[in-house]
Amino acid sequence: MEEENQKMIPYQQVLFEEEEMIERSKMHYEFMNKRRSVRAFSDRDVPEEVIQYIIRTAGTAPSGAHKQPWTFCVIRNSDLKHRIRKLAEEEERKNYSGRMSERWLKDLEPLGTNAVKEFIDIAPWIIVVMKKSFDFNDDQKKINNYYVNESVGIASGFLIGAIHQAGLVTLTHTPSPMNFIAEALDRPKNEKPYLLLPVGYAKETCTVPDLERKNLEEISIYYM
Ligand code: IYR
C-alpha cells in the first residue's frame, strides 16, 4: 500500500505580547501550584460532560508518530468500582506488608498512605488510563507504537491539569501489579493499565500533607 503524503495546513499560533505572556505564565504557575493529590473524596456527583472534556484534553497530548497510544476507561458503575477496589486492596496489602522495601515505606510515611483504597468506592468517577504498546491496522496486523510510556505520561499530565482546571481533584493511584484491572475491564491484550485516577470533589474535612515543592534553583540549571 502506498503511503500518501501528509496534508499540511497553516499553523495558527496563539500569540501574546511579552507582558501578557509573563502574566499568563505566572498565573498558570500559581494556579497549578494549588493542585494537590487528594486521598479523601466526597461522593458528590460530577457531570459526565466535565469528564468528557477532561478526556478530550488528555487526547490533545503529543504522542510518538501521532499514534495516540492510549485508552481512557471511565468507570461509573458502583459494583465494578467495588470489585476494582477489592482487587487493588488485595495487591496493595501484599505491597505494604512485604513487597515494598523498608525505605520505601518510610518515604511514604509522611503521606499517610496505606492499603485501604476507599476512594475507589466513593469518588463518582474513576478513570483508568491504559497504554497501548501496539495497535492493529485495518487488516488486523500488529503495528508498533513509539515512546508509549512518554506519550501516555504526557497525556496523563494533561488529564491531571484538566481535572484541576475544572475545580476537581484526583490522585494518581498505581496499584501494582495492575493487570487485574485490564481483566476486570475486559480490555484487549494490547492495552496495559498505566494509572488509576479517581475524579471528584475533595471531602470537606480533607487534609493534605504540609509539603514544600522544590524551588526553581533546585529543579533547573541554566546554560546562558
Ligand atoms: N501504590 C501504593 C503505594 C504508593 C507508592 C507511592 I511512590 C506513592 O507516592 C503513594 C503510594 C499505593 O497507591 O498505596
Instruction: Give me the pLDDT at residue 3, please.
Output: 65
Distance 113 CA to ligand 1 centre (A): 7
| pLDDT per 10-residue tile (average), the chain, 224 residues | 82 98 98 98 98 99 97 98 96 94 94 94 98 93 95 98 98 89 94 97 96 97 97
Q: Does the C-beta of 92 come closer than 6 Å to ligand 1?
A: yes
Separation in Å, CA 110 to CA 57, 97, 104, 105, 106: 32, 18, 11, 10, 8
pLDDT attached to residue 175: 79
pLDDT value of residue 177 = 87
pLDDT given at position 22: 98
- Assess whether the C-beta atom of 173 lies below 6 angstroms from ligand 1: yes
**C-beta 143 within 6 A of ligand 1:** no
Distance (angstroms) between ligand 1 centre and the Cα of 174 equals: 6
Cα of 17 from ligand 1 centre, angstroms: 42
CA dist list (Å): 198 to 61, 90, 105, 186: 20, 18, 23, 19
pLDDT at 191: 96
Q: What is the pLDDT of residue 2?
A: 54
Our answer on whether the CB atom of 117 is closer than 6 Å to any ligand 1 atom is no
Tell me how far the alpha carbon of residue 35 lies from the centroid of ligand 1, in angstroms.
18
Top mutation candidate among 84, 95, 108 for ligand 1, by most atoms within 8 Å of CB: 108
* β-strand partners of 191: 132
